[in-house]
């Protein structure tokens, strides 16, 4: 009986440096094992589907509750949402249907937002690696930084209280002319880019995509020429168009930098940056914003805002004409927003520093649900 003897290979002695490499490799493997489920594309699809259902449910719930209640207390800015079955049967669609009881719990807006953030970060950590080195990498990062600064400048320079009334940087008529010229020039550029690909079978789909886009541009150009020079969008539409053009320019700069750094995955990187910006803005608005309303009748002057989410009283004291007070002190406004429990339950007197009167709430009624009366009216 013959046997084959394999040569024995001696394992080299492991030194301190090799033990460290093994230890680091084990930590990296454990870290990747934790990230793998979070970076799953299947998890992304599930979270997006859950988010879409939550948005749909919250929209339907506004037939029952005001938007503040839906956003802050029950659906979006909560960890666990309470979805009532009645939300899916609004009275406008089902006028003869009795109220539908019952509810179920669902991941809230904060929960889905946090999970989507972890999913996004994990996917980038595992799949999206920098594919450039040296000058190309640093150039791409510099261009992306410039795109980020341009995005910040566009956001900070957006329409405010004065920008809506002032003249734009570029007159609307000239902007409309430049837009039509740009569409025609872009159409010609797409045709020229696609011509070298016509004879290459392996790039036929790229050629087809470019020519399809060129066809859409050509049809748009023909339509604008047919409508003539007298046709132009209104000021409100042109203002929106101007904002879209600014956003497109900033996105183009970011995309150019991402192409240098990430090559073929540049588009996904820019798209994910936009999603991260939207999610970060939601958190910033929740933490920093203060929202209220000013109801101003034509010809009236108002110097205080109200918050419909909380009960509040506004006391306005007009100074007599004989008093020689400054313009700021001729009208004093005292706004009371916080009501102690003793004032709402015990009917006690409420005294606030600076308020010229004392207040007592005789009866406190929470908001009630208005239901139709059946049978004889009372």
Give the pLDDT confidence score for residue 173 in this predicted structure. Answer: 83
- Residue 58 sits at φ, ψ, to 5 deg, of -65, -35
Between strands 80-84 and 103-107, the pairing is: antiparallel
pLDDT tens-digit map of 31-68: 677 777 888 889 989 999 999 999 999 999 998 888 88
On whether the pTM is more than 0.75, the answer is no
Predicted pLDDT at 378: 43
Residue 8 has pLDDT above 70, yes or no: no
% of the chain beyond a pLDDT of 70: 74
Give me the residues paired with residue 336 across strands.
Answer: 313
The average pLDDT across 18-30 equals 58
Among the ranges given (8-12, 111-115, 166-170), the one the predictor scored with the smallest mean pLDDT: 8-12
Residue 205 has pLDDT above 90, yes or no: no
User: Between 94 and 36, whose confidence is greater?
Assistant: 94
Span 333-354, average pLDDT = 62
Structure confidence at residue 161 (pLDDT): 45
Cβ–Cβ contacts within 10 Å for residue 306, how many? 15
- pLDDT for position 163: 45
pLDDT at 6: 42
Q: What confidence score (pLDDT) does residue 127 get?
A: 73
Which of 155-164, 215-224, 233-242 has the weakest average pLDDT?
155-164
Mean pLDDT over 144-148 rounds to 92
What is the pLDDT confidence band of residue 84, given thresholds at 50, 70 and 90? Answer: very high
Q: Is 20 helix (H, G, I), strand (E, B) or coil?
A: helix
Considering the chain, what is the average pLDDT of its residues? 78
**Tens digit of each residue's pLDDT (9 = 90 or more) over 309-318:** 666 666 766 6
pLDDT at 234 > cutoff 50 = yes
pLDDT of residue 266: 86
135 pLDDT above the threshold of 70: yes
The pLDDT assigned to 265 comes to 83
Q: What is the mean pLDDT of residues 88-110?
A: 91
The predicted structure's pLDDT at residue 314: 67
- In this structure, are residues 64 and 87 in contact, taking their beta carbons and an 8 Å threshold? yes
Q: How confident is the model at residue 370 (pLDDT cuts 50, 70, 90)?
A: low
pLDDT digits (tens, 9 = 90+) for 45-55: 999 999 999 99
Long-range contacts, stretch 134-142, CB < 8 angstroms, 24+ apart:
136/260, 136/261, 137/260, 137/261, 139/257, 139/260, 140/257, 140/258, 140/259, 140/260, 140/261, 140/262, 141/257, 141/261, 142/257
**Backbone torsions φ then ψ of 83, nearest 5 degrees:** -100, 120
**Portion of the chain with pLDDT greater than 90, in percent:** 21
Q: What is the pLDDT of residue 89?
A: 92
- CA gap 54, 40 in Å, rounded: 21
Those residues whose C-beta lies under 8 Å from the C-beta of residue 111, and which sit 6 or more positions away, are: 79, 80
Residue ranges per domain, the chain?
41-115, 131-288, 293-365
Instruction: Give me the pLDDT at residue 166, please.
Output: 54
- Compute the distance between CA of residue 74 and CA of residue 84 in angstroms, rounded to an integer: 10
Give the separation between CA 215 and CA 177, rounded to whole angstroms.
Answer: 21
Give the pLDDT band (50/70/90) at residue 93: confident
Could you tell me which residues come within 8 angstroms of residue 287 by beta carbon, excluding any fewer than 6 positions away? none
């Amino acid at each position: 009986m013959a046997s084959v003897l394999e040569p024995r290979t001696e394992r080299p002695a492991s030194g301190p440096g090799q033990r460290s490499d093994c230890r680091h490799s084990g930590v990296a493997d454990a870290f990747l094992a934790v990230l793998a489920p979070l970076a799953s594309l299947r998890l992304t699809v599930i979270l997006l589907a859950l988010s879409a259902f939550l948005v749909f449910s919250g929209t339907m719930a506004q037939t029952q509750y005001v938007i503040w209640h839906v956003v802050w207390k029950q659906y979006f800015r909560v960890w666990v949402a309470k979805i009532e079955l009645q939300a899916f049967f609004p009275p406008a669609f089902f006028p003869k249907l009795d109220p539908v009881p019952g509810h179920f719990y669902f991941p809230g807006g904060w929960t889905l937002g946090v999970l989507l953030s972890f999913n996004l970060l994990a996917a980038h950590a595992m799949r999206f690696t920098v594919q450039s080195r040296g000058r190309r990498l640093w150039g791409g990062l510099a261009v992306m930084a410039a795109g980020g600064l341009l995005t910040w400048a566009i956001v900070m320079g957006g329409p405010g209280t004065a920008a809506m009334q002032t003249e734009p940087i570029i007159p609307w008529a000239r902007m409309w002319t430049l837009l039509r010229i740009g569409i025609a020039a872009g159409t010609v550029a797409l045709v020229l880019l696609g011509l070298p690909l016509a004879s290459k079978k392996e790039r036929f789909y790229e050629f087809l995509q470019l020519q399809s886009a060129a066809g859409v541009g050509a049809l748009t150009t023909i339509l604008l020429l047919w409508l003539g020079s007298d046709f132009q969008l209104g000021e409100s539409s042109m203002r929106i168009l101007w904002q879209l053009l600014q956003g497109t320019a900033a996105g183009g700069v970011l995309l150019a930098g991402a192409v240098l750094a990430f090559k073929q995955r540049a588009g996904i990187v820019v798209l994910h940056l936009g999603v991260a910006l939207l999610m970060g803005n939601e958190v910033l608005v929740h933490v920093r914003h203060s929202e209220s309303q000013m109801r101003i009748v034509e010809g009236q002057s108002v110097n205080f805002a109200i918050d419909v989410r909380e009960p509040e009283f506004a006391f306005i004291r007009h100074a007599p004409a004989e008093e020689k007070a400054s313009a700021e002190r001729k009208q004093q406004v005292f706004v009371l927003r916080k009501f102690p429990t003793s004032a709402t339950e015990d009917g006690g007197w409420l005294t606030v520093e600076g308020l010229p009167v004392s207040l007592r709430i005789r009866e406190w009624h929470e908001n009630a649900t208005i239901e139709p009366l059946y049978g004889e009216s009372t």
